[in-house]
Amino acid sequence: MKKTGSAEWKGSIKEGGGTISTETGVLNNAPYGFKSRFEDGPGTNPEELIGAAHAGCFSMALSNILGQSNLTPEYIRTRAEVSLVKTDAGFTINAVHLVVNAKVPGTDAAGFAEHAAKAKAGCPVSRLLNAEISMDATLDA
């Protein structure tokens, strides 16, 4: 299976701009640029898209792992905080911190933490990223 995303950029790094699209059309020429990436300008940026992809992947992986233990979550809410830092080698995504809240009848905090750790390690996006990936996972009552 292969999925595709595409981007087009025009102009210089600071004055130019681009668009990002996905194969499914969910994103169709969504604007991005220097201001949306490094300042507070309008549009999207690669880091927030990676965060959304990681949050979605992790949530699905956790649902799958919970299901293997006959647990069905009422909800799993995941936010992925992607850190972009400047290093000697250039800008680098050096960390992703997952913030997870879930309501899962039939489990306790220790069991939930074990399932969440398995999902964090096994999620395909987690395995893709060459970054430290940390997490806070909270089981809501």
On whether the pTM is more than 0.75, the answer is: yes
Residues whose CB falls within 8 Å of the CB of residue 105, separated by 6 or more in sequence, listed in order? 71, 72, 74
In this predicted structure, the answer to whether residue 132 has a pLDDT above a threshold of 90 is no
DSSP-assigned states of every residue in 8-62 = EEES-TTT-EEEEEETTSSSSSEEE-HHHHHSS-SSB-HHHHHHHHHHHHHHHHH
Tell me how far apart the alpha carbons of residues 93 and 90 are, in angstroms, rounded to a whole number: 10
Task: Write the class of the CATH domain 46-139.
Answer: alpha beta
pLDDT tens string 21-62:
999 999 999 999 999 999 988 999 999 999 999 999 999 999
Domain limits, the chain: 5-38, 46-139
Q: Which range among 61-70, 89-98, 102-111 shows the weakest confidence by mean pLDDT?
A: 89-98
